[in-house]
């Protein structure tokens, strides 16, 4: 099992190294920075819009403070409509677009009588929601609706009492949030009692199944539901990913063996397919469980499961630095928890917008850790084929074990105070390690295509990220960081031949400088500055 895990780690590291190399060849540090900032701006904008719409239109249990209503629109919209009555058996909510009607006509409500009442909604604008305290009234056919008091409420699109000021109306209809506003009108008017039917989507909501209580017991239940859902789904997804990867690796090895031995592969392929079909019922059952957990909302269930799959795959492939492995799972847990706290406490809130903002936040977190920590770890050689993850190493026999070289203190010093390319002599193993890390890291930094006028460079860490510093030189100067290091080696070698030799007996404590220690920036290049900052900064 350990040999299989070590082989899988090698395969995943090679995939991670290829992704890093492709990203470094086709992107720049400036582009990755602005991608981070763009995702952060989109996330903050989505959070601001969600908070603004929630405070304005979503009904909450606490509605009064010092006798003054806190949440006026859900409570007062329908009650201010001329002709509205909250004692009717069935209430239909329709929307009148003021673009196609007389702007002088506002919202209105009309009753259909008692004996002549009908459930036929073809004579009125198709309602968005229909409300009744009795579930059977909403499911009756038009032929069976007799002696039922029915009213139709038509809300104008420019009604300030129901939609707020014009700028708020533009936001609501731009984000397609008017249906959420309508159902909160009914929720605030009838205090969460009864049934709501959506004739467009054929969905019936039973408000007795939802909790609108803001007491401590309800909040504790929300916390327990969120924790259970997170650990259950992430455990299943991680199990499926790792099992399928191990089976695929074993299948690849067996297939190569049979091809070399010219043996039939039909039975091998059939056995592999049958073994992997075991995971299909697990995936289907997980999806149906999430749909039921979210009360039939297939969109939220699919998005949540997709986010967990993406984050789990990112963790297995790209999380290899100490900071990434320590902080990213915690950040994802809090992002997952916050959005579920909102969706469970406000089931008729702006769940889609909150979930979309959370998805953008997760993407920003992945890009942040990948750009700030994973790329430097690969570029500087902190993560190699022998050390696929910080803190572990793979031996030649295929087994993995903790790496004593990566102690906690060494890791913190190496990332907060990265090794600089200086002229001070470094002796022994540290010199060889620095030379190896510098050369291996520089091999994937081909910066020839970044700037046409930059012909030489050197690499260092700045605030936990890889920065390639460039300065102009002659047209014959090297164009890659690796060639730069080699040219510096040749330059130092030529200087050492011209320098008179000193006998070892004259300075017994002197240690000859290693090749890596002689690598220094050119005299006309600015000295790189490394700001030592903590992770919280």
- Looking at the fold, whether 180 and 105 belong to one and the same domain comes out as yes
What is the C-alpha to C-alpha distance for residues 361 and 39, in angstroms, rounded to an integer?
7
Tell me: do 274 and 331 sit in the same domain.
yes
* pLDDT tens digits for range 208-261: 888 776 677 788 889 999 999 999 999 999 999 888 888 888 888 888 888 888
Is residue 370 assigned to a domain? yes
Provide the token pair at 127.
């309602």
In this prediction, residue 288 carries a pLDDT of 93
Return d(Cα 325, Cα 374) in angstroms, integer: 10
Q: State which residues form the domain around 85.
A: 71-209
Q: Is residue 368 part of a domain?
A: yes
Q: Is residue 174 part of a domain?
A: yes
Residue linked to tokens 């397609």: 176
pLDDT > 70 fraction of the chain, expressed in percent and rounded: 65
From start to end of 337-425, where are the E strands? 392-394, 400-402
Indicate whether 275 pLDDT > 60.
yes
> Helices in 262-297 by DSSP H: which ranges?
266-276, 279-293
| Least confident window among 7-16, 106-115, 459-468 | 459-468
Domain shared by 205 and 116, yes or no: yes
Mean pLDDT of 365-381: 89
* Domain-embedded: residue 526: no
In a domain, 397, yes or no: no
Can you state the angle between helices 2-26 and 216-261, rounded to 10 degrees?
100
Verify that 170 and 94 share a domain, yes or no: yes
DSSP state string for 30-61: HHHHHHHHHHHHHHHHHHHHHHHHHHHHS--S
Least reliable range by pLDDT among 5-14, 255-264, 284-293: 5-14
* Token representation of residue 493: 């070698």
In a domain, 382, yes or no: no
- In this predicted structure, the answer to whether residue 276 has a pLDDT above a threshold of 70 is yes
**Average pLDDT, rounded, for the chain:** 74
Residue 4 has pLDDT above 50, yes or no: yes
Residues 227 and 204 in one domain: no
Lowest mean pLDDT among 122-126, 230-234, 359-363, 412-416: 412-416
* Bridge partners for 68 per DSSP: 65
Which has the closest alpha carbon to 487: 501, 473, 500, 499?
A: 473
Inform me whether the pLDDT recorded for 324 exceeds 50: yes
| pLDDT(28) > 80 | yes
Q: How far apart are CA 241 and CA 275, in angstroms?
A: 14
More confident residue, 160 or 429: 160
Strands 68-69 and 64-65: antiparallel
Total tally of structural domains belonging to the chain: 3
Predicted pLDDT of residue 111: 80
Amino acid 489: pLDDT: 57
Of 347, 377, 407, the position where a domain reaches its end is 377
Least confident of 66-80, 109-123, 160-174, 274-288: 109-123
Query: Largest Cα–Cα distance in the chain?
Result: 119
Question: So what's the pLDDT on residue 456?
Answer: 36
Instruction: Looking at the structure, tell me whether residues 372 and 224 fall in a common domain.
Output: yes
Q: Who wins on pLDDT, 296 or 122?
A: 296
Statement: residue 25 has pLDDT above 70: yes
Which of 33-42, 178-187, 347-356, 422-431 is least confident? Answer: 422-431
**How far is the C-alpha of 44 from the C-alpha of 534, rounded, in Å?**
24
pLDDT at 158: 86
Question: Which carries the bigger pLDDT value, residue 424 or residue 39?
Answer: 39
**CA distance linking residue 486 with residue 450, whole number of Å:** 20
Q: What is the C-alpha separation between 78 and 93, in angstroms, rounded? A: 10
Residue 355, pLDDT > 70, answer yes
Does the structure show a pLDDT above 50 at 476?
no
- Where is average pLDDT lowest: 148-157, 263-272, 465-474? 465-474
pLDDT at residue 486 in the model? 55
In three state form, how does the secondary structure of 175-187 look? CCCHHHHHHHHHH
203 and 236 belong to one structural domain: no
Predicted confidence at residue 176, as pLDDT, reads 85
Do 83 and 107 lie in one domain? The reply is yes
Say yes or no: 175 and 201 in one domain. Answer: yes
CB 393 within 8 A of CB 401: yes
Residue 418 predicted with pLDDT over 90: no
Residues 240, 191 share a domain: no
Which of 113-117, 122-126, 235-239, 393-397 comes out lowest in average pLDDT? 393-397
Same domain, 205 and 226: no
Say if residue 40 is in the same domain as residue 88: no
pLDDT at 103: 55
Span 189-206, mean pLDDT? 89
Q: Is residue 387 part of a domain?
A: no
Domain membership of residue 171 (yes or no) is yes
Confidence band of 400 (pLDDT split at 50, 70, 90)? low
Q: In 10 A of CB 62, how many CB atoms?
A: 8
């Amino acid at each position: 099992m350990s040999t299989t895990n070590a082989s899988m780690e090698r395969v995943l590291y090679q995939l991670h190294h290829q992704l890093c190399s492709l990203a470094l060849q086709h992107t720049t540090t400036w582009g990755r920075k602005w991608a981070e900032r763009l995702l952060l701006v989109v996330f903050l904008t989505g959070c601001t819009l969600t908070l603004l719409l929630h405070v304005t239109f979503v009904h909450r249990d606490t509605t009064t403070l010092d006798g003054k209503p806190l949440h006026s629109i859900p409570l007062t919209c329908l009650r201010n409509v001329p002709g509205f009555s909250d004692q009717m058996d069935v209430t239909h909510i329709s929307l009148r677009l003021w673009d196609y009607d007389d702007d002088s006509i506002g919202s209105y409500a009309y009753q259909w009588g008692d004996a002549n009442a009908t459930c036929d909604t073809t004579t009125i604008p198709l309602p968005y929601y229909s409300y009744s305290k009795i579930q059977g009234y909403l499911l009756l056919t038009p032929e069976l609706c007799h002696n039922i008091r029915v009213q139709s409420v038509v809300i104008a699109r420019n009604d300030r009492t129901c939609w707020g000021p014009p700028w708020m109306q533009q936001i609501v209809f731009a984000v397609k949030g008017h249906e959420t506003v309508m159902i909160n009108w009914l929720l605030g008017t009838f205090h969460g009692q009864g049934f709501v039917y959506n004739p467009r989507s054929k969905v019936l909501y039973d408000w007795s199944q939802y909790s609108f209580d803001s007491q401590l017991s309800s909040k504790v239940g929300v916390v327990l539901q969120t924790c259970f859902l997170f650990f259950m789904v992430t455990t299943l997804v991680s199990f499926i990913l790792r099992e399928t990867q191990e089976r695929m690796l074993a299948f690849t090895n067996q297939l190569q063996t049979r091809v070399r031995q010219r043996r039939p592969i039909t039975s091998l392929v059939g056995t592999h397919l049958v073994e992997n079909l075991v995971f299909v019922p697990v995936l289907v059952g997980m999806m149906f469980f999430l749909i039921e957990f979210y009360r039939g909302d297939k969109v939220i269930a699919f998005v949540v499961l997709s986010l967990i799959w993406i984050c789990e795959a990112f963790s297995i492939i790209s999380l290899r630095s100490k900071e990434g492995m320590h902080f990213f799972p915690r950040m994802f847990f809090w992002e997952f928890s916050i959005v579920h706290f909102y969706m469970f406490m406000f089931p008729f809130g702006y769940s889609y917008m909150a979930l979309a903002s959370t998805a953008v936040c997760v993407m920003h977190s992945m890009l942040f850790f990948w750009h700030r920590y994973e790329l430097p770890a690969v570029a500087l050689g902190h993560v190699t084929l022998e050390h696929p993850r910080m803190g572990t190493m793979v031996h030649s026999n295929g087994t993995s074990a903790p790496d004593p070289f990566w102690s906690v203190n060494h890791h913190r010093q190496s990332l907060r105070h990265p090794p600089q390319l200086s002229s001070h002599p470094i002796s022994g193993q540290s010199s060889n390690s620095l030379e190896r890390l510098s050369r291996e890291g520089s091999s994937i930094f081909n910066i020839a295509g970044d700037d046409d006028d930059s012909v030489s460079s050197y690499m260092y860490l700045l605030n936990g990220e890889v920065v390639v510093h460039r300065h102009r030189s002659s047209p014959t100067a090297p164009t890659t960081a690796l060639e730069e290091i080699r040219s510096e080696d040749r330059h130092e070698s030529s200087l050492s031949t011209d320098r008179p030799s000193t006998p070892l007996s004259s300075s017994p404590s002197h240690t000859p400088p290693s090749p890596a220690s002689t690598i220094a920036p050119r005299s006309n290049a600015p000295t790189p500055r490394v700001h030592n900052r903590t992770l919280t900064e």
